[in-house]
Amino acid sequence: MMIKQLIIKNFRNLKNADLKFGKNTLLVGSNNVGKSTVLEALDLLLGPDRLNSLDAVNEHDFYGSRYLDKDDQPIPIEIETRLYGLNDRQKRLFKDHLEYWDTQDNKFVEMQEGLDEERFHLDCLRVAFKAYYDREEDEFKTETYFLNPELPNSESTNKFIALTRNDKREIGYLFLRVLRTGSRALSLERGSLLNIILDLKEIKTSSWETILSKLKGAGNELDKDTGFRDVLSKIEDKVKKYTPLRSGEDKSSQFEITNLTRKNLRSSLNIFVGTEPSNELVPFRSLGTGTINVLLLALMSFIADLKRENEKNVIFSMEEPEIALPPYTQRRVIDELFEMSDQALVTSHSPYVTERFINNNILVLKNDGEKISGHNVDFGPFKEKIFRRDFRTRFAEGLLSKGIIAVEGVSDELTLYATSQKLPEFCSNYIHLDIIGMVVIDNEGGGNINNIGQFFKSLNIKTYAFYDKGQQVSKDAFDSIKEHDHKSLEKLLVEEIPENVLKEFFDDCKKYPDYPQGTTLKNNTKDDVCAILEQRKREGYSAKLLSFCKKEADLPQTIVDFLKNINNDLTQSKTK
């Protein structure tokens, strides 16, 4: 069983969302687009322990923090998911709630007679969550329930059958967040990974009373410190003037370890772990973030094994598994995640994680303020050897960006970045490409530059092109294109950068004989600099030339105007 569709209304920064998932899906997009919120929404709906806390939702969980409309009526949070691919055991458990799934168009369909059994399978489970403000109780109420069937003649505000904690455990959704899940993974708190393991193995401890009795009175050791009991006794004497305390020879006050309740013990008990090279046992919370991540993976694997033993479902969702892990461990974590789960949903900013989803489903999220949309990545325009070879350096960086600039070669890429680096020194309202989330992608060895534009534009990522005069670039492949007036980038640089800057660069080159070595010089500054730049295309010489620019007028005007137009385009669209 896996999550195929998720519909969200009025939750956090998601006013409306309708997303479809594959067996394993990677969610990518810019910061604050809503990637983690999607997983949080699933946790509200499917997490077995999420709704146990008193503050399962609060004011700020509602879109725009608005939970009442202009007529003082509740604006609810609504979350619905559609699950598909139930095994025989799950179909028996949820037989009263099954609906039809269109296997051809990959969507839920309403019950009706005469459906083609080859195409439409009675294999869809719809469950929903609602949160709303109850004015009479002055609190936020939450409900989770099956959307089929309705209860007849029900007077309840919820006319559907409730989705119980056991039902959620059967669905098997686990949301792993390093900063939160990792900090209590090996505690015995409700909902911790260790507690999930103990529940799955049906281990019930009878030791709480024994531990509590041993702890009771342990604080008396403080009385042995000189003066400690004397201070407490004097405090007792002062308090007795206002309220009666315990009488007789027994003490009226003493310190105890925790509140001596099961709940306190669950949150206080810690597993200590020893790791190389020190081998010293320390609380697991004190381990490095990377080690905690690996620890999470081990616990996840344990949970997956236990669920499989009991023929139970496992849907793992994980937030940025790359945190504090080297690339080889990132890859291993994702491979293990695929192996141990019925479905994996992941968010990431890592090219090494993203690469592992090439043969699965990569969903690029975009949020326009009204609706969040998901665009599936299709590498169709490219030969497999190209996108696999260049995935981390070209495709992954673009997928994780707000927009891309397609150029013809590495020299163009280095020049645009170098100009963007210099511009803020002279223009205070210009924002560097890295800060606005733009990536320059060179097309060297990749065939038609139009393929780059079409690929990223289809994912609703902003696309720009910058290229030499005479190149065949399609306007339809990009949001904006710029053909400069020169046959090469090197010609553009020497024509638009002042001659005194070129001469300073050239004189610097002459200090190091290896710079112009093998280059035929013509004793003409422009021609000689152009020759050096053309021979050293891949070595960053164009960026070195730009480092000699001391004011904005020294920079190539065509590139400056192009970069400023992108700045204006993105900053204006952001404020709309």
Q: How far apart are CA 68 and CA 72, in angstroms?
A: 5
Give residues with Cβ within 8 angstroms of 166, minimum separation 6.
Answer: none
**Is 61 within 8 Å of 183 (Cβ atoms)?**
no
Share of the chain above pLDDT 70, in %: 91
Q: How far apart are CA 107 and CA 103, in angstroms?
A: 7
Identify the top-confidence range among 113-122, 304-313, 481-490: 481-490
pLDDT of residue 344: 94
Per residue in 325-382, pLDDT (tens digit) is 788 888 888 888 888 889 999 999 999 999 999 988 999 998 887 888 899 998 887 8
**Is 354 within 8 Å of 400 (Cβ atoms)?**
yes
Give residues with Cβ within 8 angstroms of 237, minimum separation 6.
Answer: none
8-state DSSP, 176: E
**Is 141 within 8 Å of 67 (Cβ atoms)?**
no
8-state DSSP, 218: G
pTM (2 decimals)?
0.80
pLDDT of residue 333: 83
**What does 42-109 look like in DSSP terms, one character per residue?**
HHHHH-TTGGGSTTSS-GGGBGGG--B-TTS-B--EEEEEEEE---HHHHHHTGGGEEEEETTTTEEE
- Residue (of 465, 200, 460, 424) closest to 310 by Cα position: 200
Give residues with Cβ within 8 angstroms of 463, minimum separation 6.
Answer: 403, 404, 406, 452, 453, 456, 457, 477, 478, 479, 480
Instruction: Tell me the pLDDT of the chain averaged across its residues.
Output: 86
Band of residue 465 on the pLDDT scale cut at 50, 70, 90? very high
pLDDT of residue 39: 94
Whether residue 532 has pLDDT greater than 80: yes
Beta strands in 323-428 (DSSP E): 343-347, 361-367, 372-376, 403-407
* β-strands 14-20, 98-102 pairing: unpaired
Per residue in 190-199, pLDDT (tens digit) is 767 777 787 7
CB atoms within 10 A of CB 282: 13
**Is 417 within 8 Å of 540 (Cβ atoms)?**
no
Listed by start position, the domains of the chain span: 2-29+50-163, 384-576
**Residue position matching structure tokens 């393991």:** 197
Which is more confident, 418 or 256? 418
Whether residue 67 has pLDDT greater than 90: yes
Whether residue 181 has pLDDT greater than 60: no
**Residue position matching structure tokens 């969200």:** 8
| End-to-end CA gap in the chain | 41
Q: Which two tokens stand for residue 421?
A: 């680096």
For residues 98-121, b (16+ Cβ closer than 10 Å) or e, as one string?
A: bbbbeeeeeebeeeeeeeeeeebb
